[in-house]
Chain A
Amino acid sequence: MSDWTEIARFDEIPRRGSRVIEFDTTQVAVFRTAADEIFALRDKCPHRSGPLSQGIVHGSKVTCPLHSWKIDLGTGEVVLPDKGCASTYATKVENGRVFLKLA
């Protein structure tokens, strides 16, 4: 299934912040950076499943609120020296609306 799913208005996602998108089986954290880029990750830190959506967004990274692991929003990769990877979802913004591509 590769359709784009509309999830929110762009302005519903706070700058340097995030919103949680709840699907039936999974939760996705959608982030908006200071540069107004939109990224989406599965809302689980690869470390101990902390809710990444609740972290502080800086540059194109988020710091997990539980144990301060840093995750790159674009790739889902954990910033060294910690190791791990969070699942990412493709996003796009069209006419002020945010779309998510579910894997």
Chain B
Amino acid sequence: MRKPKLVLVGNGMAGVRAVEELLKLAPERYEITVFGDEPHPNYNRILLSPVLSGEQQFDEIILNRHEWYEQHCITLHVGKRIASINRAARKVVAEDGTEAPYDRLILATGSKPFIPPVAGASLPGVLAYRDIADAEAMIEAAGKYRNAVVIGGGLLGLEAANGLKMRGMDVTVVHLNDWLMERQLDPTAAALLQRSLESRGIRFKLATQTEALAQGESGRVCAVRFKDGNTLAADLVVFAVGIRPNTSLAESAGIFCNRGIVVNDTMQTSTDPRIYAVGECVSHRGVAYGLVAPLFEQGKVLANHLAEFGIARYQGSVTSTKLKVTGIDLFSAGDFMGGEGTESLVFSDPADGTYKKLVLKDNKLVGACIYGDTLDGGWYFNLLREGTDISQFRKTLLFGQHNVGDSGHGPAERVAALPDSAEICGCNGVCKGQIIKAIRANKLFTLDEVRSYTKASSSCGSCTGLVEAVLAHTVGGDYSAAPSKKPLCTCTDHSHDEIIATIRDNELKSMSAVFNFMEWKTSDGCATCRPALNYYLLARWPADYQDDAQSRFINERAHGNIQKDGSFSVVPRMWGGLTNPRELRAIADVADKFKVPEVKITGGQRIDLFGVKKEDLPAVWKDLSDAGFVSGHAYGKALRTVKTCVGSQWCRFGTQDSTGLGVKLEQLTWGSWMPHKFKLAVSGCPRNCAEATIKDFGVVCVDSGYELHVGGNGGIKVRVTDLLCKVETEDQVKEYCGAFIQLYREEAHYLERTAPWVERVGLNHVKQRVVDDAAGRAELFERFKFSQQFVQIDPWKERAEGKAAQEYQPIRIAVASSQRKVERQDHPAAHPAQLCTATE
């Protein structure tokens, strides 16, 4: 069968990325041809500035080498500009006469620099700053001449000015506006930036309009004349006043353009359904994007459509900006100027070179402009994009994430200042230098890619913010922006929230139903999505869903914690941390009988037996079960411990029976599966000896009742709880506790602890559902109790009685080397009738 032909016009970042995404989804579907008018394979245009300044070589910024095109059987024509599209005959024709027929055509013609109509704009020595040829011409000029004038004080102009200065030229930046980068910065931040660039020797001429360029005796440009009558000597003039979508080819083919090639949400042109457009040449819902993150999102959608998956839509992007000038940190996003109906929070320390302005509207962040310390830029950008209600932490918002009781962010040192030897990821021992090297060597774009190559932030995740910051510093901030929707894993394009809602709304009650209904890309998922789906199904359909042991991580499958040597640890439940001599003797007997190498008291007030062989587990559990113990679920994304202090029973300060209440709460909640581990504590007085304010749900007893605290944790990043409310009776504590747990079980993403969940949805939301809405609270509590009846069955006792026996028994085979005689040492096949006859 003949493959349909796909032609890409424009061998730049957006178009090639779309092809890469397509190859991931449907590698064999199309016969692909690519035309590029530059004589190079696809390179990273964003890194032109480091090439100009001499910090990187051109070879280092190539993204796809010729071999890549060959490996994927892509026909590449470099140095060939397409002159026309013959839509009737469905072919494109290059200026040199090369023709290529298409069934589908992608236009990725990018943008072209805007050169204002001033006299002398076409003289030798006058350049735009757009591609590698421009950069090379500027480098060459820097070697021969002295005076450079950059016209345009925007992002690109300043990067060009900095590069030329580093190449040794005298540089003046001429800018029409009153302040630099007016599309990204407010006047205050721009003044700080200007001062910093001036200290590097770059001169500025603001609020100045260029009138003409004068020709010298050699025929080359020699001076710039301004409207105010002044002139400036110039051997090199660089125009960086803006870019325009390059639509001439599309227009000549009769494709509708309006400040860009107009496309719909699947990146199809409005004129011809066989023709798509992607990248800087596109106008989507009236917006043309110039930053790489939105263009990559577009490419992903286009690829999805070309692969005929038909589920992705591009709905526009919120963008953020970062200047790629070494040593200057600035970040801006959204409506940073503010205006009618907005409020601004401002922090300004000019002596320190630090400035932060956050623009708020209706308790949401709508804009940010930061100069100096931009480490929190990514966090602000997320708040902005997700429209998070910030009223709970408005007072500390300006001081960054680590002041908000962050759950998953590293220390706030400025990443730029760290040496290459600084350890970024403590779990995997990854240093800053290694991350930078991996990003450069493997052309990494996203956090996920950096994780996968370096392992940085792939374990506990607490250094995610730092890794993102390193990524942003290495390749420019626009790379680091995560897509607006994050798929659960590479097996699907759907997010956690979409999956949770679909399972609920469409009553999907098995994993295969989810795979089919949501069009999973793999036949049976992966080690990331299967445990998540197993949890979501179990949480939503406790009575109907059949738990799938093979989709659980080994700890939950075997009901013990796997240790580095493959042995397991065993933690019996001790209700509220209470025990007695009989129980302690039973544990001691087990430790003796099974030669347990180490016994330790855990932080959760119970006892851990380390180094138990997997095959011994059922027998260990039998002895423990006979002594009255049940599983402590120390291995599960489940209810772990309820820590208590001694309370009014013994303590002279105790106000309530905290131990007794802890036991009751543990009896209520044990056995329940959660998105992540879940810990409770009950303290008998505000001295809080049970450390209830760093637990997922903590109770602090006071004389008049019980304070309920939520969303705390110790561990990776300590987060102190938020006060949920105060109640008067133990029964109320139980109801609120159950309702809170159920809300968390229903709404949080798998592997999201209560701390980041509360921060994501906002404490107000939790209060509304659990405190304000009495009827809703009662329903949540009912659903929790309903689900509990199916799980409060001790998994250890079941297994001690023979359930899932195969999981624990190895098959021993003795091979007598002299005779090669094979003897099966465990239970031989007893019932031949049951033999399975399946073939290989």
Interface residues of B in 246-294 (CB under 8 A from A): none
- Once A9-B836, A12-B806, A34-B523 are accepted as A-B contacts, the answer to whether A24 and B530 lie under 8 Å apart by CB is no
Q: Give the contacting residue for A16; candidates B458, B524, B814; CB below 8 A.
A: B524
User: What residues of B have a CB within 8 angstroms of the CB of A35 in the complex?
Assistant: 523
Interface residues of A in 29-79 (CB under 8 A from B): 34-38, 48, 50-51, 54-59, 61, 63, 65-66, 68, 70
- Once A34-B524, A50-B566 are accepted as A-B contacts, the answer to whether A10 and B811 lie under 8 Å apart by CB is no
Chain A residue nearest in CB terms to B563: A66
In contact, B820 and A51 (Cβ under 8 angstroms): no
B813 CB within 8 Å of chain A: yes
Most buried by A among B458, B524, B552: B524
In contact, B523 and A66 (Cβ under 8 angstroms): no
Interface residues of B in 793-813 (CB under 8 A from A): 806-807, 810-813
In contact, A56 and B837 (Cβ under 8 angstroms): no
In contact, A48 and B564 (Cβ under 8 angstroms): yes
Chain B residue nearest in CB terms to A35: B523
Q: Give the contacting residue for B813; candidates A7, A16, A37, A97; CB below 8 A.
A: A7
Report Cα–Cα, A97/B834, bound state, in Å: 12
Report Cα–Cα, A75/B834, bound state, in Å: 31
Report Cα–Cα, A35/B523, bound state, in Å: 9
In contact, A81 and B566 (Cβ under 8 angstroms): no
User: What residues of A have a CB within 8 angstroms of the CB of B523 in the complex?
Assistant: 34-35, 59
Interface string of B550-573 (1 = CB under 8 A from A): 111110001000101010000000
- Once A16-B550, A37-B840, A65-B553 are accepted as A-B contacts, the answer to whether A54 and B562 lie under 8 Å apart by CB is yes
Chain A residue nearest in CB terms to B525: A58
User: What residues of B have a CB within 8 angstroms of the CB of A15 in the complex?
Assistant: 550
Number of interface residues of B (CB under 8 A): 41
In contact, B837 and A96 (Cβ under 8 angstroms): yes
User: What residues of A have a CB within 8 angstroms of the CB of B530 in the complex?
Assistant: 56, 58
Chain B residue nearest in CB terms to A56: B527
User: What residues of B have a CB within 8 angstroms of the CB of A92 in the complex?
Assistant: 840
In contact, B822 and A5 (Cβ under 8 angstroms): yes
Interface string of B418-454 (1 = CB under 8 A from A): 0000000000000000000000001000000000110
In contact, A10 and B836 (Cβ under 8 angstroms): yes
In contact, B813 and A21 (Cβ under 8 angstroms): yes
Interface string of A78-102 (1 = CB under 8 A from B): 0001000000000011011100001
Report Cα–Cα, A58/B522, bound state, in Å: 9
A1 CB within 8 Å of chain B: yes
Kindly provide the distance from the CB of B602 to the nearest chain A CB, expressed in whole angstroms. 21
In contact, B812 and A22 (Cβ under 8 angstroms): yes
Kindly provide the distance from the CB of B26 to the nearest chain A CB, expressed in whole angstroms. 18
User: What residues of B have a CB within 8 angstroms of the CB of A70 in the complex?
Assistant: 527
Report Cα–Cα, A57/B530, bound state, in Å: 10
In contact, A21 and B835 (Cβ under 8 angstroms): no
- Once A19-B806, A22-B810 are accepted as A-B contacts, the answer to whether A81 and B453 lie under 8 Å apart by CB is yes
In contact, B553 and A56 (Cβ under 8 angstroms): yes
Q: Give the contacting residue for A17; candidates B550, B812, B820; CB below 8 A.
A: B550
Chain A residue nearest in CB terms to B834: A11
Q: How many residue pairs bridge A and B at CB < 8 Å?
A: 112
In contact, B815 and A102 (Cβ under 8 angstroms): yes
Kindly provide the distance from the CB of B488 to the nearest chain A CB, expressed in whole angstroms. 14
Interface residues of B in 511-538 (CB under 8 A from A): 522-527, 530-531
Report Cα–Cα, A37/B531, bound state, in Å: 22
Report Cα–Cα, A55/B531, bound state, in Å: 12
Kindly provide the distance from the CB of A100 to the nearest chain B CB, expressed in whole angstroms. 9
Report Cα–Cα, A57/B531, bound state, in Å: 12
In contact, B550 and A57 (Cβ under 8 angstroms): yes
- Once A19-B811, A21-B813 are accepted as A-B contacts, the answer to whether A11 and B835 lie under 8 Å apart by CB is yes
Interface residues of B in 492-516 (CB under 8 A from A): none
Q: Give the contacting residue for A11; candidates B553, B812, B836; CB below 8 A.
A: B836
Report Cα–Cα, A58/B553, bound state, in Å: 12
Q: Give the contacting residue for A56; candidates B531, B813, B829; CB below 8 A.
A: B531
In contact, B813 and A22 (Cβ under 8 angstroms): yes
Report Cα–Cα, A19/B806, bound state, in Å: 8
Report Cα–Cα, A66/B549, bound state, in Å: 18
Report Cα–Cα, A57/B188, bound state, in Å: 57
User: What residues of A have a CB within 8 angstroms of the CB of B564 in the complex?
Assistant: 48, 50, 66
Interface string of B157-187 (1 = CB under 8 A from A): 0000000000000000000000000000000
User: What residues of B have a CB within 8 angstroms of the CB of A102 in the complex?
Assistant: 815
B838 CB within 8 Å of chain A: yes
User: What residues of B have a CB within 8 angstroms of the CB of A81 in the complex?
Assistant: 442, 452-453
Report Cα–Cα, A50/B554, bound state, in Å: 12
In contact, A54 and B566 (Cβ under 8 angstroms): yes
Chain B residue nearest in CB terms to A17: B550
Kindly provide the distance from the CB of A4 to the nearest chain B CB, expressed in whole angstroms. 10
Kindly provide the distance from the CB of B450 to the nearest chain A CB, expressed in whole angstroms. 10
In contact, A93 and B839 (Cβ under 8 angstroms): yes
Q: Give the contacting residue for B522; candidates A1, A21, A59; CB below 8 A.
A: A59
In contact, A21 and B810 (Cβ under 8 angstroms): yes
In contact, B527 and A63 (Cβ under 8 angstroms): yes
In contact, B822 and A58 (Cβ under 8 angstroms): no
Chain B residue nearest in CB terms to A81: B453
In contact, A12 and B811 (Cβ under 8 angstroms): yes
Kindly provide the distance from the CB of B171 to the nearest chain A CB, expressed in whole angstroms. 41
Kindly provide the distance from the CB of A97 to the nearest chain B CB, expressed in whole angstroms. 8
- Once A81-B452, A95-B837, A96-B837 are accepted as A-B contacts, the answer to whether A55 and B806 lie under 8 Å apart by CB is no
Q: List 5 A-B contacts (CB under 8 A).
A: A34-B524, A35-B523, A37-B840, A59-B524, A92-B840
Query: When A and B form their complex, which 9 residue pairs have the shortest distance between CB atoms, in order from nearest?
Result: A63-B527, A96-B835, A11-B836, A16-B550, A20-B810, A56-B527, A54-B554, A51-B566, A34-B524
